[in-house]
Structure 1
Amino acid sequence: MTYLRHAEKSKGTVAGPTDLQIKVQADLPSEKRVLEILADLSDARRIQINRQGRGRSIVTFADRFDDSDEISARIQARNSASSPQKTAVCDTVARSKELGGITRAAQTAKANIKPQKSAASTRAVAALKKWPAATGNPPSVENRHPSELRLDDSYQRSTDNGASQALIRKIANGWDWRMCLPLVVSKRDDGSLWVIDGQHRLAAALLRGDIPFLPCVVGIYGSVADEAAMFVAMNRARKPMNRLDDFHAAIASGDSEAIEITRLITEAGFTVSRKTGSQSWVPGEVAFTSAIAKVLRKHGAKVCADALRTMQEAWPDEVLNAGASMFTALTKLAISPPDGFDPDRMFRALLRRNQREWASFLNETKSGGDERAAQLRQVLLMAYEEEPEVADAE
């Protein structure tokens, strides 16, 4: 049965059922429910009440001749042209079914609906809480050419390793703008831009050469130390940093222990490595900063300085393959030497073998750093005993 929804005068007569009649025909609980279902369907001029077994359903039809809504008319025409067998009228029917388990109309009346908490009211409640004051200044979001962006090696990770190079090539080869999250960038006093987070994306863009810009969140950090501290905070929150990345960032952020360790290393004639993989080490580099820190805290700077100087003098042009174990073994000897210990005799014993040969004594050792150092200490004492004493010159 199809009725005109709204009363329409035709030759002075009024056609169409009342809300009460629709309620009865569709077996609705109340006239108010009729209004609730149909109130927002402003296009609905015709209503069909279907009986399916014991169930009832209402479907509504837009008035084909109602051109009061020009936009709706254009949409109807476009849909009719693209899909002649499925018109906008049928689409309205599908969207507005309700009753007897059929989906409710797309928009329901606002009457009799309990007020819900709005975002504004939630914010008002949240504002009552005593939050700590926000730090820093709001950043700006900018698109910057890759050539404008710089990297500070004092705290940035080294990308001169196989894993980083593979990642850079992978990003470059499969560049996807949807994966290019904004880089975190510091703007310094001279206007230069320094990447805190996103160096692999920057390297990939530079490798390609055809990326016109990179999205950047540009902030003012005040100093290199502040940048380094932010770098550490961001990367520790996201994924673990290796110990040397952490160490170099600590230096840049002004960490006193890291600065002291760097001083001991450089005064001995070494430099601090940027790479944790032994295959990437080169002569003159120290990668065992954790071992130095441990001895420094417990026994002081002099013990560390003496051991580092001994190693530099014994193997100035060699990769320190057994660096951590050798350093700790030498400090153990200095802290608790055997009776009559002669440092010169020990030094001559060290010169008998290169770093690879000393490291070979640990090949079968599966235990941790302290036990490896203790074992190497025993080997050093055996070599010391085998080294002949030098008679004092008369």
Structure 2
Amino acid sequence: MSRAARSKIDKYYEAVAVGLLVVDPTLDAQRIFQRAWANKLTKIWDRDVLLPAIVSLREDGVYYVLDGQHSNAVAKEVEGANFKRDCMIYTGLSRQQEAKLFLAANRDRKPVKPHDNFRVAITAGDEFSIRVEQEVKSCGLEIGSGTSVNRVGAVQALIAIGAKREGLIPKVLKSVEGAWGRDTTTWDNMMLRAVGMVIDKNWDIIKLDRLSKTLQKAPVGLWKGKAITLTTSGGGSNSRSVPLARQIIVEYNRGLRGGTPALVPVD
């Protein structure tokens, strides 16, 4: 088909075998394939919720992926090259127009807040999210978009703790409540993550009452301030929680007697 015949831009939906969808190595953004992100998609793979890829069918008859590179690679690995994926296919695009579509697909998406994502997962019947919510409710608390004395807003921390093992969330929440009561500072993201690390690592030997008394030695802000100074290159809540967890363990082990086992440091 001549360039003149293809000059008009058109678009339509079509199911295309993922083995036929390729990446243009000359498009800068598509050169960067992130294996870590693909691995994450593989773990949560669900063919029933795979969104359409945005594809340019060029003059050479080849389907070039403009948006959906990683999910397409995962689909090919998990389902095989003959697996057909729904695509929004454009024809007659210039390279500049392809680049604009790529930018629009990755720029014009408003990030979804963690709490909103969590609520949608509950509505979708996600078993893990439902378990997390039930464990929080078992403590007489709720998960909300903001933190209050009876509402935990640290959704990402709760998800991270829940992913470690079932039953860990109630132990974490009860330990911090035992230290500082029901206060807005008690349900701190960084603190919850750190306490979760401590309990998970020492599941069979930790004494939760002693842990609460250890935490009670200082307010949440002071614990966090010390941990931040020990964090290399700044770091986010998760990386800062590691030195915080180590501090908690040091204080917990201080002055142990009567055969009480010492806690094992977190990695």
Give the TM-score normalised by structure 1.
0.34
Does 1 or 2 have the higher relative contact order (CA < 8 Å, sep 6+)?
2
Give the TM-score normalised by structure 2.
0.48
